[in-house]
A and B are shown apart, each in its own frame.
Chain A
Amino acid sequence: MSYLFESFKGWKKYCEENGANLYDSVIEYEIVQKGKSEKDIWEGLQKAYTVMKDAVETGLREDMTSRSGMINNGAKKVYNHPVSVLSPEFQRLISRALAAKEVNSCMGRVVAAPTAGASGILPGTLYTLQEIHHLSDRKILEGLLVGAGIALIIEEKASLAGAVGGCQAETGSAAAMAAGAMVYCLDGTIEQVFNAVAITIQCMLGLICDPVAGLVEIPCVVRNASAAAIANSSAQIALADVSAVIPVDECIEAMGEIGSSMESKYKETAMGGLAMTLTGQTIAKRVLIRDIEILPDETLPE
């Protein structure tokens, strides 16, 4: 038997009734539902975390210029800038989230967590958390499992795809996974972990997916940095037991409701928002293939 990740309420109840902690129940799910061995799961997580850390380091070391030219070594500039707006730790957090996401935009290797478009958020937050609090890899991997459980429920109740739910579904979900994982790693209670998820979702609700020229670059890269910052602010709030008031399951339902009523031009189609600005359209004209044969409209039998 395993818990099927249908709601946060159900997940908490399952853990309490079975004396399981959050990450145990995710391992149990993967073993029972997917036929994996516990050893394979830990190895898979270690591999994923290694790729995440590599992406952060690659983005801060190697040339990160995208084919369109819109992404041009931003992470390094932030990392090396002499003025720290808040603290050196905050500066590193932002530059790391940017770095891993720039690697994705520039055809490097990343972990889609939960998607490629949001692949800078968990690396940026967890790398920085581990550094500040001297956490073991094992603890971070447990946090990743908690994040996976969070994503399984969001997928069930709303969506993780920009084409279905807008940017809130991608960077919003990744930030929620990160906030929950961070609170877990800092020994938060189940209540606090879920509260961090609820607060993060509240901060990310309504975000549309409006990529310039349809590329996973602008505004995706900077949104990975802002999502990482929001995950940290939510974790800070949740650890202090400040309630989200609206329960986490209802926050996720609100995200699903907003996603389903969002116009399709705001769902990865590059037909609205930043993609339709004057500059956005000029860039699109330059980037898109123009040598294209257009078939005549068919007369559909109606």
Chain B
Amino acid sequence: MGGKSSVFDMIGPIMIGPSSSHTAGVVRIARSAIRVLGGRPDHAEITFYNSFARTYEGHSSDRAIIGGLLDFKTDDPRIKQALDLAKEFGLTYNFKSIGNASVYHPNTIKLSLTKGEQKVEIIGESLGGGLINIAELDGFSANFSAQSHTLIIKAKDESGAIAFISSVIAQEKTNIATMSVSRKGKHDVACHVIEMDSGLNPITITYLKSLPWIKELIYIPEIDL
């Protein structure tokens, strides 16, 4: 992405008010998180940090985050009733506020989501104008915008892993826009986050998933968040 804006950034986006960073961006953080989780959660622990900590209710970011967890799009009028609708969708949640967390961006949200046995923890930043950054994923540094096709791979930290994964992607003539790798420790687990200009074939995903040294693979195709 980047570069010049679109006509539809000037006349748009179409969104639920009141503010692009407090509603649209927050919805997008939640919709990215449930794609990492692989569906709507049963339970969500939601922490609002810094500027968000005091203002989330006044700006209705509480409804926006729950609406996003229910997979409502940024222009879905149901966001206004999201807190009531959560019960119908079987979603329970808790909110918490933490201020003065200087390591985080001013508008940061932590989501700890549970769906059956699955768990995921996401730290998302609302950057303004509805743009977001997923800063962390399960304790790994991630930094993706969820604006393009994104591949997240947790794999054994081995030499040659980065070259191998990028060569598989290159076979599909897919251009890598950004790639970041972070790890817990030497020869432990490394998390690869790759943003691509075009999508991957299902067979490539299946192949990567079948490799014994790849522990977990999440593929999020480009979606209109």
Which A positions have Cβ atoms within 8 angstroms of B? 4-5, 26, 29-30, 33-34, 36, 41, 44-45, 47-48, 51, 66-68, 103-117, 119, 122, 144-145, 147-148, 151-152, 155, 160-161, 163, 177, 213-217, 287-289, 291-298
- Is B198 part of the binding interface, using a Cβ–Cβ cutoff of 8 Å? no
Q: A34-B6, A155-B5, A216-B19 are in contact. Are A109 and B55 (CB under 8 A)?
A: no
Query: Do A297 and B16 touch across chains, with their CB atoms under 8 A apart?
Result: no
Query: Do B100 and A45 touch across chains, with their CB atoms under 8 A apart?
Result: no
- Is B207 part of the binding interface, using a Cβ–Cβ cutoff of 8 Å? no
Q: How far is the CB of A249 from chain B (nearest CB, A)?
A: 18
* Listed A/B pairs (15) with beta-carbon separation below 8 Å: A4-B4, A47-B14, A48-B12, A51-B14, A67-B60, A107-B63, A108-B16, A109-B14, A110-B15, A116-B18, A214-B58, A214-B59, A216-B17, A216-B19, A292-B99
- Pick the 6 closest A-B CB pairs, nearest first: A104-B17, A151-B10, A292-B97, A148-B10, A216-B18, A148-B7
Query: Do A107 and B17 touch across chains, with their CB atoms under 8 A apart?
Result: yes
Query: Do A144 and B11 touch across chains, with their CB atoms under 8 A apart?
Result: yes
Query: Do A287 and B58 touch across chains, with their CB atoms under 8 A apart?
Result: yes
Q: How far is the CB of B216 from chain A (nearest CB, A)?
A: 31
Interface centre among B15, B18, B56, B79 (most CB of A within 10 A): B18
Residue in B closest to A177 when the chains form the complex, CB atoms? B10
- Is B8 part of the binding interface, using a Cβ–Cβ cutoff of 8 Å? yes
Q: A294-B100, A295-B98, A295-B100 are in contact. Are A112 and B57 (CB under 8 A)?
A: no
User: Which residues of B (26-79) have their CB < 8 Å from a CB of A?
Assistant: 53-60, 63, 75, 77, 79
Query: Do A116 and B54 touch across chains, with their CB atoms under 8 A apart?
Result: no
Chain A residues near B9 (CB, 8 Å)?
A: 114
Q: A48-B12, A292-B54 are in contact. Are A119 and B17 (CB under 8 A)?
A: yes
Query: Do A293 and B97 touch across chains, with their CB atoms under 8 A apart?
Result: yes
Chain B residues near A45 (CB, 8 Å)?
A: 7, 11
Query: Do A288 and B54 touch across chains, with their CB atoms under 8 A apart?
Result: yes
- Is B101 part of the binding interface, using a Cβ–Cβ cutoff of 8 Å? yes
- Is B221 part of the binding interface, using a Cβ–Cβ cutoff of 8 Å? no
- Is B96 part of the binding interface, using a Cβ–Cβ cutoff of 8 Å? yes
Query: Do A112 and B58 touch across chains, with their CB atoms under 8 A apart?
Result: no
Chain B residues near A214 (CB, 8 Å)?
A: 55, 58-59
Chain B residues near A161 (CB, 8 Å)?
A: 128-129
Chain B residues near A288 (CB, 8 Å)?
A: 54-55, 58
**Complex CA distance for A68 and B55, rounded to whole angstroms:** 11
Query: Do B14 and A48 touch across chains, with their CB atoms under 8 A apart?
Result: yes
Residue in A closest to B4 when the chains form the complex, CB atoms? A33
Q: How far is the CB of A47 from chain B (nearest CB, A)?
A: 7
Chain B residues near A115 (CB, 8 Å)?
A: 20, 129
Query: Do A48 and B11 touch across chains, with their CB atoms under 8 A apart?
Result: yes
The residue that B7 contacts in the complex, of A29, A107, A109, with Cβ under 8 A, is: A29
Residue in A closest to B22 when the chains form the complex, CB atoms? A216
Q: How far is the CB of B109 from chain A (nearest CB, A)?
A: 14
- Is B13 part of the binding interface, using a Cβ–Cβ cutoff of 8 Å? yes
Query: Do B18 and A145 touch across chains, with their CB atoms under 8 A apart?
Result: no
**Complex CA distance for A113 and B107, rounded to whole angstroms:** 23
Query: Do B97 and A116 touch across chains, with their CB atoms under 8 A apart?
Result: no
**Complex CA distance for A214 and B53, rounded to whole angstroms:** 13
**Complex CA distance for A114 and B189, rounded to whole angstroms:** 44
- Is B80 part of the binding interface, using a Cβ–Cβ cutoff of 8 Å? yes
Query: Do A109 and B75 touch across chains, with their CB atoms under 8 A apart?
Result: yes
Query: Do B23 and A107 touch across chains, with their CB atoms under 8 A apart?
Result: yes
- Is B94 part of the binding interface, using a Cβ–Cβ cutoff of 8 Å? no
